[in-house]
Amino acid sequence: MALTDEVKRYLPDGIAARLKYPKLADFERPNVITTTADLVFNWARSHSVFPFQYGLACCAIEMLSSGFARYDIARYGMEVFRPTPRQCDLMIVAGTVNEKMAPVLLRLYEQMAEPKWVISMGACATSGGPFYDGYNVVNGVDKVVPVDVYIPGCPPRPEALFDGMLQLQRKIQQLTFARPEKVEPLYGADAPWHADVIGPQAQFGGRVSKKRLTP
Amino acid sequence: MSLQVGNVRIDADELAARLGRAFAGELMDVAVQEPDTVVARLAREKVKDVARRLHDLDETPIDSLTLISSVDYVTHLECVYHLYSYAANLYVELHVELPRGRPVVATVSDVWPSADWHEREAWDMMGIVFEGHPDPRRILLKDDWIGHPLRKDYVDDVRNHPYV
């Protein structure tokens, strides 16, 4: 469990080191552990990320290969790939996003459980990659959904995917209940694809962002 | 008719000669392009009739359609039917020239069912209209796409890209 400096400030001297690396003797008698809700929740969240089993192109082969025994994603507590977005909180966009897939991707993202994260895996998902000029290619999945971690590579090796996931773990551990991150709505009610893709604006309480509208 | 591949032992020259006789006046410039491929041109009005008769030939029915490709020659479009005869183990290529202004040709999906998706793709990418097609939708691009991107004069429309 990572102890932030903020937490360490309130702990007696020497305790922080023992909390981080407790000795067996510390558990031999009844104990009280004082911690923060943030720490516990973030620790739990960051070590049980459920990725969405969702591949678009060759990056998906690397993603699947990292799930199997040789690279073994289970070492980081992220091995439970779910085939439905409703049981996931991490979408690994592994591959080229094209114009026909983008609304589907957006809908799948909407169906994922909160809080949720997106990893853009590989050159295609990040920027369009080698297909940047393609007539049917969306130049980066961040035009469709908000992305937390970008992984370069074409395709990235499993090690690179793990590095991205560890970055994501670090990002998750920075969340806090006290000062929730201000979440900007993804799109406004007058976005051109909005009516077709998601229907009424009910779930965002009518908040309209002008920032992400198409020109 | 047997399902055994290549049980009619003829070579491409012989098949070309037979096709030339059976479809005199319909198949033009019948020639052997490769050791196993017969190439011919065909007027677009006769596609339906010739396709049915090729498919129902007695000894060497051309019973399989592998691919329909479409080509943009700028002056005109062309539709190429890649056919195969299991009995003769030989290939047939039919080139059908289409005017750019009105690229319409009769569907052959009722003759070779595999033509269904290939014709949808040719419509999607090149804008060739197949009259009588049972399901004339786009197949690769989204349904409201504007234009046919593999045409040489294709200009991308900004309405195709809502995510920018």
Our CA-based measurement puts residue B96 at a distance from the nearest CA of chain A, in whole angstroms, of 27
Does a structural domain hold residue B31? yes
Among A52-66, A184-198, B21-35, whose mean pLDDT is lowest? A184-198
Burial class (CB in 10 A: 0-12, 13-18, 19+), B61: middle
Higher pLDDT, A34 or A185: A34
pLDDT value at A21 more than 90:
no
Q: Domains in chain B: how many in total? A: 1
Each residue's pLDDT tens digit, B87-146: 999 999 999 999 998 999 999 999 999 999 999 999 999 999 999 999 999 999 999 999
Q: Residue B131 belongs to a domain with what CATH number?
A: 3.30.460.80
Our CA-based measurement puts residue A140 at a distance from the nearest CA of chain B, in whole angstroms, of 9
Does a structural domain hold residue B4? no
Predicted pLDDT at A185: 52
Predicted pLDDT at A54: 83
Beta carbons within 10 angstroms of residue A147's beta carbon: 18
Domain that holds residue B76: 12-160
What are the residue ranges spanned by the domains of chain A?
5-35, 46-172, 184-215
Q: Whole-angstrom Cα distance, residue A54 to residue A68? A: 16
Predicted pLDDT at A20: 66
Q: Whole-angstrom Cα distance, residue A135 to residue B76? A: 23
Each residue's pLDDT tens digit, A133-166: 889 999 989 889 989 999 999 999 999 999 999 9
What does DSSP say about strands A90-94 and A51-52: parallel, antiparallel, or unpaired? parallel
Does a structural domain hold residue B2? no
What CATH fold (topology level) applies to the domain A46-172?
A: Rossmann fold (3.40.50)
Each residue's pLDDT tens digit, B35-55: 999 999 999 999 999 999 999
Q: Is B117 on the interface with A (CB under 8 A)?
A: no
Does a structural domain hold residue B5? no
Q: Which distant-in-sequence residues (6+ apart) come within 8 Å of B134 by Cβ?
A: B107, B109, B116
Does a structural domain hold residue B7? no
Compute CA distances A146 → A110, A125, A211, B23, B65, whole Å. 11, 12, 13, 61, 45
Mutation choice for B interface testing from A120, A131, A136, A143 by most B CBs within 10 A = A136
Does a structural domain hold residue B120? yes
Predicted pLDDT at A3: 66
Each residue's pLDDT tens digit, A59-78: 999 999 998 999 998 888 88
